[in-house]
Structure 1
Amino acid sequence: MEDSGDQLLLKKQYYLENCPGCKVDKAKELKKDVTFRNFFNIWIVVLSATLPIASLFPYLYFMVKDFNIAETEEDISTYAGYVGSAFMVGRALTSILWGMVADRFGRKPVFIIGIISVVIFNTLFGLCTSFWMAIMMRFLLGGLNGLLGTMKAYSSEIFREEYHALGQSTVSAAWGVGLAFGPALGGYFAQPVQKYPNIFPKDSFWDKFPYFLPCFIVSALTLAVAISCIWLPETLHNHKVSTDKIEALENRTSEADKNKMIQQDESLLRNWPLMSSIIVYCVFSIPDVAFAEIFSLWSVSPQRLGGLNFETNDVGNVLTVSGIAIIIFQLGIFQSVQKICGPIVLARIAGVLSIPILQSFSFMTMLSGFTLNISIYSAAILKYIFMEIISTGLYILQNKAVDQHQRGVANGICITAMSACKIIGPAAGGALLTWSQKRMDASFLPGSHVVFFGLNVIEILALLLTFKPFLTERKIPL
């Protein structure tokens, strides 16, 4: 009788009138959720988190050069790597904290705080006049930005179960587009006095701060997103018993079944399906973020140092087309392919195909004209699509591995670990690019060949970790 009473009590609490999480669950059950609205909300918040991460890459080489801190031209890439890593240092130190805040106070407050921090510190980054000022602004921007991990949790809660893959692919697509369009914005709008002298006169504010315009544009877009977040639905329940537990109690009456539910609250660090997917994701993230930085730095480097001697506009064009390709694939094709192959198999296929594509970049210095253009565009598009396939599949595994009440912290752990690895990516990538430019005449892997070979070594290691017994999926009890 006591179990029956508990079930009746919980049944009454199933959709509490003043609980925002219950309102979202009720709308999903009644099929009243507007998929496009949810999709749009996720899209704009993730873009707000991603655009400032990558928008500096095309002009970072020139920005560091203007700081006059590098002793030689070859050392510029090393210092650029330190600036790129500062964001990840800040994010690594605070992501678990933001996950705890999201699980305690809700997803929406974390979104608003994170977006406002982007507006402030991304704007200030555009006004930096010294290397250490740039490092500090990027560090604060990363430390106060808890958007990505919280949004990974949110995207698995706002959609009905049959649309979970759409939610995760939306996060991944927006992330990939941000990594592509962010550098495109930086490439088009950095140094506007040189590019658009009829609009931006010499010796003006824009000449004194040549990298402020792309930062201002990103911050203005982000401010609009911050205002729109006022109407964002909250998915976290404000009562102690979650709807997942209610459903479980309604369907389970035995003591053994209750014990199984209690085991779900065990330490996340002992949840191997979660931890294995996080580890694999982190290893993949090292070459991915290193590539995102190296591609821009390598492209604008002079040909005598093994680069392509591109202008920032050229880099922007390549990344814009790549971003459009990501949108088309992730939102039009990914969900169907994922249903056929499953997230793990699809990630393996993308990992295998990434290896020859990544190494092909080092041979493009031998090309010119139309052949170079078609090669660089094709390789960049494929590489960015493969990156998003892998990350989306691992997002799906991570969010399936935990229940809602632990999802914020779980994604916080993931972002912390990923950010720690991404500290390595830009710093090591910049140092590796500097080293490669000092060994242009080496007999083994000269110049940029050693850069992309190094990235492939880590890519192969990550690929091997996707196999059993290392990577496992959570078994949902019937």
Structure 2
Amino acid sequence: MSPDPTSQQVDEETPLLQSEENAPAKTPQTPLPWGQFSMLLVLQIAEPMAASVISPFAPQLIRDIGITHGDEALVSFYVGLVHSLFFATEALTIFHWSRLSDYIGRKPVLLIGLFGLSLSMFCFGLSKTFWSLVISRCLSGALNGNIGVMKSMTAEMTDSTNLARAWAFIPLAWSSGLTLGPLVGGVLARPADRFPNIFGGSGFLKKYPYFLPCAVPATMSALTWIVVFLYLKETATPQINISQLLPWKKRKTVPSPALESPLVSSPVGDTPVPIRALFVRRVIIATGSYAGVALVEIAFRTVQPVFYATPISLGGLGFDTPTIGIVLAVQGILNGITQPLAFARLHDVMGPKKLWLFAVTCALPMIALLPASNTLARYSGVVQSVWCLVALQVALGSCMNFAYGISFMYISAASPNRASVGATNGFAQVIVSVMRAIGPAAVNYAFSISIEKHYLGGNLVYCAMAGMVCMVMGIGFLLPRTMSTK
């Protein structure tokens, strides 16, 4: 697919997506390449499924391995630490994976990431000590560079007329993973106890009660690896042959033509720009918007199952593991429905900046409903009105996720040129991974001391999360009104 013939010659400081107000006429919408794009959507399911499958049983797993020595206030701290480790190690490696994909192509990096995801989930399911959990989560984060690479491929498969539609479907796949993960984790955890007629005779599942739910996303990642290897086409022109990276091969740079990305208005004859070229205002602001949303979302998503599992008397709702899994699954289903149905339409009506600000603002009442539902449960128990608050919270979470698609579009628009889309997404993902590493540990520590010390009436963690939202909204006001910074 070639660039829009109406585009003008520009330099590398021009964003990849042009402002609508500068376009001479509204061009027909290009159909999405569903054959290839659908494989990316399937690939998108694997990672959130692997990440979220542990959420329903993580509090009980921490109790089972005995690291807290019976101190309930420490459970949330260790749960947050387990969640953070993936993103901490990912932050150290993901830019290098994304940068590497600019040189050797996207597909080899995706295959490495899927292999690492599958291996690490099998290891997690076999873990019997806290340190084995640590190693498996670190392995998963270090080998996984797929997030940035998939976003680069999405940008390269689309153009300015259908990019918003593509980003509307990406959350559907992501939400499918977030739906399947909690369902699998909630239903299949401790199968010998929950389904004695089926699994009661398995000594292996009694010894490793969390292996089965972990094996499901691990197996799915392995099957996805086969599909990607056989059918997914490369979207970037490799700058070097992958064999040249081997130490016994003579390294020789292979000149390559301009990448055939359909994104418009980039220089002809692109090559990846130096890392320092990414430190420009539009890249930093776009990255900040994405990182801010990710911080708020991961903080809430980490506290949410711990809050549900915590006894009402200690500030939670006292749900059991299957109930937590069902609530999180419904949340994923609702998000998956609303994104493709409403995102592109709201984007066209409100514009990217207003939609982003609206989405982030929804996080404030979403957070406030945590202490509100506990207060109601203390007086009346978990009755219908409490479930209404939980349902409203889930709906607000779906609205907040609109901000992700907008941030992805801003990042794609900010790339210095087509050949640096991978590096730009990788740079953004590094910052996001740092936020996602800090967020779970920080908010779960705040949740622990809120319970233990009863700071601000036990609401310290919610005040901290609301403060995060306010800071993120400040970044949003710096976003350009359209995708062009000029």
Question: TM class, shorter-chain normalised?
Answer: 0.7 to 0.9
Matched, 1:272 2:289: no
**Structure 2 length normalisation: TM-score?**
0.83
The correspondence of residues 318-357 of structure 1 with structure 2, limited to 5 A, is 318-357=327-366
CA deviation string 1:161-214 (max 9, x = no partner): 311112223333323443343223211211112222221116621111111111
Which residue in the other structure is 2:399 paired with? Answer: 386
Q: 1:308 to 1:406 in 2, by over 3 A?
A: same
Using the TM superposition, give the Cα deviation of residue 147 of structure 1 relative to its aligned residue in structure 2, in angstroms: 0.7
The offset of 1:466, in angstroms, is 0.8
1:131-170, Cα deviation, whole Å (9 max, x unpaired): 0110011001011001111011111111243111122233
- Who is 1:399 aligned against? 412
Counterpart of 1:101?
Answer: 100
Q: 1:415-453: CA deviations, max 9, x gaps?
A: 11111111111111221111111134x5x3x23x33222
Counterpart CA distance in 1 for 2:385 and 2:77 is 30
Q: 1-side partners of 2:469 and 2:104: how far apart? A: 38
Corresponding residue for residue 465 of structure 1:
475
Contact 2:153/2:235 (8 A) holds in 1: yes
Q: C-alpha distance in 2, partners of 1:265/1:203?
A: 55
| 1:89 match | 88
Amino acid at match of 1:54: S
Contact preservation (8 Å) 1:306, 1:437:
yes
Note closer, same or farther for the CA distance 1:34–1:395 as it changes in structure 2 (3 Å cut). closer
- SS of equivalent to 2:198: coil
What residue in structure 1 maps to residue 324 of structure 2? 315
Q: Which residue in the other structure is 2:452 paired with? A: 438
Number of the residue aligned with 2:237:
237
Correspondence 1:300 to 2:309: yes
Q: State the identity %.
A: 24
Q: Kindly provide the CA deviation profile for residues 383-424 of structure 1, in whole angstroms up to 9, marking residues without a partner as x.
A: 1x1332111110000001113200101111111111111111
SS at match of 1:162: coil
**Counterpart in the other structure of 1:424:** 438
Amino acid at match of 1:113: I
Q: Shift of residue 475 of structure 1?
A: 3.3
- TM-score of the superposition, structure 1-length normalised? 0.84
Does the 8 Å contact 1:179/1:292 carry over to 2? no
Higher helix share: 1
Which whole-Å deviations, capped at 9, do the CAs of 1:346-385 have from their partners, x for residues lacking one? Answer: 01011122211221121112232222223212312321x1
What 5-or-longer segments of structure 2 have no aligned partner?
A: 1-26, 239-255
Aligned twin of 2:225: 226
AA aligned opposite 1:242: L
Quote how far apart the aligned CAs of 1:265 are.
Answer: 7.4
Give the Cα separation in 2 of the matches to 1:46 and 1:389.
17
Secondary structure of the residue aligned to 2:46 is: helix
What is the aligned partner in structure 1 of residue 204 from structure 2?
205
Cα pair 2:156 2:262 within 8 Å, conserved:
no
1:247 CA displacement: 8.4
Bigger drift between 165-174 and 265-274 goes to 265-274
Letter matched to residue 423 of structure 2: V
Between stretches 281-290 and 31-40, larger displacement belongs to 31-40
With over 3 angstroms needed to count, the CA separation of the structure-2 counterparts of 1:245 and 1:198, relative to structure 1, is: closer
Distance, in Å, in 2 between the alignment partners of 1:220 and 1:263 is: 35
CA 203–108 in structure 1, closer or farther in 2 if over 3 Å, else same: closer
In the TM superposition, what is the alpha-carbon distance from 1:58 to its structure 2 partner? 1.3
Q: List runs of 5+ in structure 1 lacking aligned partners.
A: 1-28, 250-256
Aligned to 2:75: 76
Shift of 1:74: 1.1
Q: In the alignment, residue 47 of structure 1 is paired with which amino acid?
A: I
Residues 197-250 of structure 1 deviation map (CA, whole Å, 9 limit, x = unaligned):
22111662111111111111111112221111020121102423334799879x
Q: Provide the rounded CA distance (Å) in 1 between the counterparts of 2:211 and 2:326.
A: 20
> Structure 1 294/180 Cα, relative in aligned 2: closer, same or farther at 3 Å?
farther
- Choose from 346, 365, 375 the match for 2:389: 375
Q: Which residue of the other structure, out of 299, 302, 313, is the alignment partner of 1:290?
A: 299
Residue identity matched to 1:228: V
Find the counterpart in structure 1 of residue 38 from structure 2.
Answer: 40
Change (3 A) 1:338 1:31: closer
Amino acid of the structure 2 residue aligned with 1:62: Q
Q: What is aligned with 1:8?
A: none
Quote the Cα distance in structure 2 between the aligned partners of 1:101 and 1:266.
12
User: For the structure 1 residues 463 and 245, does the alpha-carbon distance in structure 2 shift closer, same or farther, using more than 3 Å as the test?
Assistant: closer
Between the aligned partners of 1:263 and 1:102, the Cα distance in structure 2 is 11
Paired residue type of 1:389: F
Separation (CA, whole Å) in 1 of partners of 2:131 and 2:165: 41
Q: 1:61 pairs with 47, 59, 62, which one? A: 59
Tell me the SS of whatever aligns to 1:475. Answer: coil
After TM superposition, give the deviation of residue 283 of structure 1 in Å: 2.1
Judging changes above 3 Å, is the alpha-carbon distance between structure 1 residues 139 and 471 closer, same or farther for their aligned structure 2 residues?
A: farther
Give secondary structure in 2 for the equivalent of 1:333. helix
Distance 1:263 1:475, change over 3 A: farther
Deviates more, 1:113-122 or 1:282-291: 282-291
Per-residue CA distance 1:87-144 (angstroms, 9 max, x = gap): 0111000011101111011111111111111111111110001101100110010110
Secondary structure (helix, strand or coil) at the match of 1:95 reads helix
Which residue in the other structure is 1:195 paired with? 194
Deviation, 1:79, is 1.4
Aligned residues of 2:286 and 2:410 also touching (Cα < 8 A) = yes
Alpha-carbon contact 2:286-2:414 (below 8 Å) kept: no
Judge conservation of contact 1:45–1:111 (CA < 8 Å) in 2: no
CA separation of 1:435 and 1:231: change in aligned 2, threshold 3 A: same
* 1:322 and 1:380 in contact (8 A); partners too: yes
Where does 1:151-162 land on structure 2 (aligned, <5 Å)?
A: 151-162=150-161
Shift of 1:262: 10
